[in-house]
């Protein structure tokens, strides 16, 4: 009968790092799960027990134990993945960010603030940059920018004479007389 798969012996810093990651509440969840796999393996749990406890596939458990054995704690990190290269150059991303930070009226546009649709139309028509609103949103979030919430009419009125100009409220909201007993 073959020996059960076990992670290699850990000492000192490596053991402390695995324990810290396995108990972490702030590390990425996949890294925490990988550390739990290694810790459970060192505690004597079988691959099947670990897979059942963490509700993952046994092949996944084997993969992470083997990667830990080959590369140590660094093997638990995500490796670079293949995929489509970035669609927009750094200059194009810069143009999107610069346009979003510029007041539309400074560009001669007839509105006071940007919406994603307005920004997409401006970039498409004026800058010649074909970009969709969803991609603009992703780029701005990646740059750490977010949309400012619009002010509502509930705030203070800019016109100090507003109440006098408004006139009386509706008759249904007349002031009630207090009854004195």
pLDDT 10s digits, 5-50 = 777 777 788 889 999 999 999 999 999 999 999 999 988 899 999 9
Q: What's the DSSP call for residue 129? A: -
Give the per-residue pLDDT at 12. Answer: 85
pLDDT above 90 (res 113): no
Indicate whether this model's pTM tops 0.75. no
Q: 10 Å Cβ neighbour count for 41?
A: 24
Overall CATH class of domain 12-76: mainly alpha
- Give the C-alpha separation, 6 to 64, whole Å: 11
Do the beta carbons of residue 122 and residue 131 sit within 8 Å? no
Do the beta carbons of residue 145 and residue 139 sit within 8 Å? no
Do the beta carbons of residue 40 and residue 61 sit within 8 Å? no
């Amino acid at each position: 009968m073959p020996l059960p798969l076990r992670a290699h012996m850990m000492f000192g810093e490596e053991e402390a790092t695995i324990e810290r990651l396995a108990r972490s509440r702030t590390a990425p969840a996949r890294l925490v799960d990988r550390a739990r796999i290694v810790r459970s393996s060192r505690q004597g749990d079988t691959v099947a027990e670990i897979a059942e406890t963490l509700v993952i596939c046994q092949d996944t458990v084997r993969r992470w134990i083997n990667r830990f054995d080959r590369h140590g704690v660094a093997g638990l990190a995500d490796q670079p993945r293949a995929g489509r290269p970035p669609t927009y150059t750094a200059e194009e991303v810069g143009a999107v960010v610069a346009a979003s930070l510029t007041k539309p009226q400074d560009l001669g546009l007839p509105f006071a603030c940007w919406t994603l649709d307005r920004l997409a139309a401006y970039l498409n028509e004026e800058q010649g940059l074909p970009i969709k609103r969803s991609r603009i949103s992703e780029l701005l979030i990646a740059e750490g920018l977010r949309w400012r919430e619009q002010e509502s009419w509930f705030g203070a009125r800019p016109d100090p004479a507003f109440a006098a100009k408004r006139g009386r409220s509706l008759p249904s909201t007349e002031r009630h007389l207090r009854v004195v007993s």
